[in-house]
Amino acid sequence: MGKYLTSFKKRLATARILRPPKVLAREMATKGSWPHRVRTVTEAFPKKFTFFHPVKCPGGALVKRGTWNPRTRTETYTCPDKTKKKFIRSKTPGEFFRRKYGRCSEFAQGLHAALKYMGIKSRMVLAYKPGFDHVWVEAWNPRAKKWIRVDPTMKKGAYGYTWHLGPKARYFKGT
């Protein structure tokens, strides 16, 4: 559990951008109500970025487990035909926006940074239970006075979607 929490805290610390990334500039400049602005940015993520898991190999085979190299932050997946595919973890939102692919933690870190840049109070949420973890974002709706869950990894950038991970799940929220 400790490695997930440590990684989560590092992502929170680096979730900052100095200017809108080119890939999201139009969506981040959207005018309108708070829900419209948040939804527009969240729904852009699955359209503009690729979710990297499981890995698709030639012939349609899927590989779920790779070999991790912590020194290079790279996972190497070996397909049934012996070809290899590499996945490089992004440390910062800038890296994620340049590479245009990632997993839930990269997606959440990118959305969190984009919302903060737009002046929208947000936080990242890590949910963990044995064998499963997921990271998403919650944005503070000042009018409704509550946190709204937004998940940039879901097909339509789920706005208000609730994850039910069961009684053994542990949640960590950080701003």
Question: Does residue 93 carry a pLDDT above 70?
Answer: yes
Q: Which tops the pLDDT comparison, 171 or 162?
A: 171
What is the predicted pLDDT for the residue at 166? 65
What is the predicted pLDDT for the residue at 162? 64
Provide the Cα torsion 71, 72, 75, 80; round to 10°: -110
What is the predicted pLDDT for the residue at 173? 78
| Contact yes or no for 151/157 (Cβ under 8 A) | yes
What is the predicted pLDDT for the residue at 13? 79
Nearest-angstrom CA–CA distance, 174 and 95: 21
pTM for the predicted model, two decimal places:
0.85
Q: Which tops the pLDDT comparison, 154 or 21?
A: 21
What is the predicted pLDDT for the residue at 111? 95
What is the predicted pLDDT for the residue at 159? 65
Mean per-residue pLDDT of the chain:
86
What is the predicted pLDDT for the residue at 167? 66
Question: Does residue 163 carry a pLDDT above 80?
Answer: no
What is the predicted pLDDT for the residue at 156? 63
Question: Does residue 88 carry a pLDDT above 70?
Answer: yes
Question: Does residue 142 carry a pLDDT above 80?
Answer: yes
pLDDT, tens digit (0-9, with 9 covering 90-100), for 119-138? 999 999 888 877 778 888 99
Question: Does residue 1 carry a pLDDT above 60?
Answer: no
pLDDT, tens digit (0-9, with 9 covering 90-100), for 17-70? 888 999 999 999 999 999 999 999 999 999 999 888 778 888 888 887 888 888
